[in-house]
């Protein structure tokens, strides 16, 4: 099937732009490292989302609300377990794979610690939404199996209906709440972007995946710009679903 | 099938000793109220166990340990969901059914808040063990279906192996830890008994289930005494599995 004049690509890769100086083996290695990095950041993201939702559950005004948030926390933990299993399948140690992302993700959560129940709800919906959009965009650079895993991890678990109803009701009760939560939503977006940049800057393998240097397709600057536009549009949609100005 | 000289019993009841002054309808009502109370205290017990384990997860020394405790928390939440479903099937509002038990169970957790990771592990194993033994003992007074539910809720989810290994390793590292944790285990037992007495004293329906006044079989004082002996024996076995003097 291969024409000798063409480089052979790993079947799951989009047309490859890795530098001609990089051998195929080196490209494979770079790609594998990028996948482990990506699964590592996702796994720790889910584990810390579990913890953060547990803290939110403690702020719940009723036992039903507490149970709803606890269900969201356990759904995140289920995703963590899927990601950890895949890391193990790939021969990676999950603790080692997650370790580089503990500090930046903890910093994100520390800088966006909800002051009350409503801020927690908005963070769960808006913050997770931004993360989900971002990782789904990146997943197009992955092979089928890992792309399917990322899709599953970020599938809507049906909890957004609960959050939207609670936040809209609170704004209806007291419209001033809407102004405060709109500011909060914007801050979440800003912090998420700055943490994402920090992670990409520190992790060569992930940056390589995005740029194509790791042997996968990668995105050029125009594509990156379009990706951020799409993420911003989705964020605006979520804010307006909550009744908030983005 | 019924001999007119015999009272008709609800098929799931052990030979009934409810006072002859109590009509069968009143006995059924008392039994149903006791079941709702029991499922209510169990449901809130599981929901608060979820929260307490979440707090323990934050103290975990490694990410693997954190994940292990998070898995225990989610298992407890799964049990909560089973109990809530049964309450709903019985036409009871789960929030209302749990409400009377919030204060006593929160008081138990406040008086036994672990100072560190190891105390959290011992509480998860020893505290839950006492609760499981107690409720399994009570479940013999229930109809088959509710007894099976209680059994399922308190089935060992395999996490005790993890706790036992961690606690024993810590004592091996530093034998003084064993003395401190042994005191802690005794305090857990004492607080659990005093809270259980408080709950039984305040909830007529539950007390009636135990004494037989609710129309179910009940236990006389000798049986109650034997039950507490069995619970204490099981507690001693768990303490010694951890390498602790009870």
Which pair of structure tokens corresponds to residue A223? 């594509």
Q: Spell out a b/e string for A199-232, using b for 16 or more CB atoms within 10 Å of the CB, else e.
A: beeebebbbbbbbbbbbbbbbeeeeeeebeeebe
- Phi, psi values for residue A193, rounded to 5°: -65, -40
Q: Do residue B74 and residue A78 have CB atoms under 8 angstroms apart?
A: yes
The rounded distance, in Å, linking the Cα atoms of A56 and A66 is 8
- Counting residues of chain A whose pLDDT is more than 90, the rounded percentage is 63
A74 lies within 8 A of chain B by CB: yes
Of A194, A63, A189, nearest in space to A128 by CA: A189
The rounded distance, in Å, linking the Cα atoms of B48 and B132 is 15
CA B66 to chain centre: 24
Which pair of structure tokens corresponds to residue B73? 């928390």
List, as one string, the DSSP characters of chain B.
---TTSPPPPTTS-S----TTS-HHHHHHHHHHHHHHHHHHHHHHHHHHHHHHHHHHTT-SSHHHHHHHHHHHHHHHHHHHHHHHHHHHTT--HHHHHGGGHHHHHHHHHHT--SSHHHHHHIIIIIHHHHHHHHHHHHTTS-HHHHHHHHHHTS--S-HHHHHHHHHHHHHH-THHHHHHHHHHHHHHHHHHHHHHHHHHH-HHHHHHHHTTTSS----HHHHHHHHHHHHHHHHHHHHHTT---
Give the pLDDT band (50/70/90) at residue A159.
Answer: confident
Q: Which of A67, A98, A99 sits opposite B80 (nearest CB)?
A: A67
A101 lies within 8 A of chain B by CB: no
Per-residue model confidence (pLDDT) at position A12: 41
- Interface mutation vs chain B, best among A48, A67, A95, most B CBs within 10 Å: A67
Contact A238, A181 (CB under 8 A): no
- Phi, psi values for residue A223, rounded to 5°: -65, -40
Coil vs helix vs strand at A99: helix
- What's the DSSP call for residue A126? I
Residue B82: burial class (beta carbons within 10 Å; 0-12, 13-18, 19+): middle
The rounded distance, in Å, linking the Cα atoms of A198 and A203 is 9
Q: Which of A57, A64, A78 sits opposite B51 (nearest CB)?
A: A57
Which pTM was predicted?
Answer: 0.85
B168 lies within 8 A of chain A by CB: no
Q: Which residues of A touch B51 (CB under 8 A)?
A: 54, 57-58, 66, 70
* Those residues with Cβ within 8 angstroms of residue A223's Cβ, 6 or more apart along the chain or in another chain: none
Per-residue model confidence (pLDDT) at position A215: 60
B80 lies within 8 A of chain A by CB: yes
Q: Do residue A63 and residue B57 have CB atoms under 8 angstroms apart?
A: no
Find the closest chain A residue to B66 by CA distance.
A47
Length of chain A: 246
- What's the DSSP call for residue A123? I
Between the two ends of chain B, the Cα-to-Cα distance in Å is 52
For the ranges A14-23, A62-71, B117-126, B145-154, the lowest mean pLDDT is seen at: A14-23
Per-residue model confidence (pLDDT) at position A149: 95
B78 lies within 8 A of chain A by CB: yes
For the ranges A26-40, A177-191, A204-218, the lowest mean pLDDT is seen at: A204-218
Residues 45-64 of A with CB under 8 A from B: 47, 50-51, 54-55, 57-58, 62-64
Q: Do residue B50 and residue A70 have CB atoms under 8 angstroms apart?
A: yes
| ipTM summary value | 0.82
* Other CB atoms within 10 Å distance of the CB of residue A233: 12
Find the closest chain B residue to A75 by CA distance.
B74
- A143 pLDDT above the threshold of 80: yes
Give the pLDDT band (50/70/90) at residue A8.
Answer: very low
- Counting residues of chain A whose pLDDT is more than 70, the rounded percentage is 89
Q: Do residue B63 and residue A55 have CB atoms under 8 angstroms apart?
A: no
From first to last of its 246 residues, what are the pLDDT tens digits of chain B? 444 444 333 434 443 444 555 677 887 888 889 999 999 999 999 999 999 999 999 999 999 999 999 999 999 999 999 999 999 999 999 999 999 999 999 999 999 999 999 999 999 999 989 989 989 988 988 999 999 999 999 887 778 899 999 999 999 999 999 999 999 999 999 999 888 888 877 788 888 888 877 666 678 888 888 888 999 999 999 999 999 987
* Those residues with Cβ within 8 angstroms of residue A229's Cβ, 6 or more apart along the chain or in another chain: none
């Amino acid at each position: 099937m291969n024409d000798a004049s063409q480089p052979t690509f790993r079947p799951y890769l989009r047309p490859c732009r890795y530098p001609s100086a990089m051998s195929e083996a080196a490209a494979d290695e770079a790609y594998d490292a990028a996948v482990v990095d990506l699964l590592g950041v996702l796994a720790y993201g889910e584990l810390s989302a579990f913890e953060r939702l547990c803290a939110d559950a403690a702020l719940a005004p009723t036992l039903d609300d507490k149970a709803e948030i606890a269900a969201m926390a356990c759904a995140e933990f289920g995703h963590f377990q899927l990601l950890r299993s895949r890391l193990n399948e790939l021969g990676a140690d999950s603790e080692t794979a997650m370790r580089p992302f503990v500090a930046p993700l903890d910093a994100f959560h520390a800088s966006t610690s909800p002051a009350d129940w409503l801020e927690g709800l908005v963070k769960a919906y808006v913050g997770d939404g931004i993360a989900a959009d971002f990782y789904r965009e990146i997943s197009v650079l992955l092979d089928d199996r890992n792309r399917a895993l990322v899709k599953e991890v970020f599938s809507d678990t049906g909890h957004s209906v609960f959050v939207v109803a609670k936040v809209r009701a609170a704004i209806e009760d007291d419209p001033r709440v809407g102004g405060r939560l709109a500011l909060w939503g914007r801050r979440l977006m800003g912090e998420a972007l700055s943490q994402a940049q920090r992670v990409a800057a520190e992790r060569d393998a992930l940056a390589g995946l995005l740029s194509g240097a790791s042997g996968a397709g990668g995105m050029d600057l125009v594509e990156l710009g379009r990706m951020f536009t799409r993420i911003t549009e989705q964020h605006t949609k979520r804010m307006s679903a909550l009744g908030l100005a983005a």
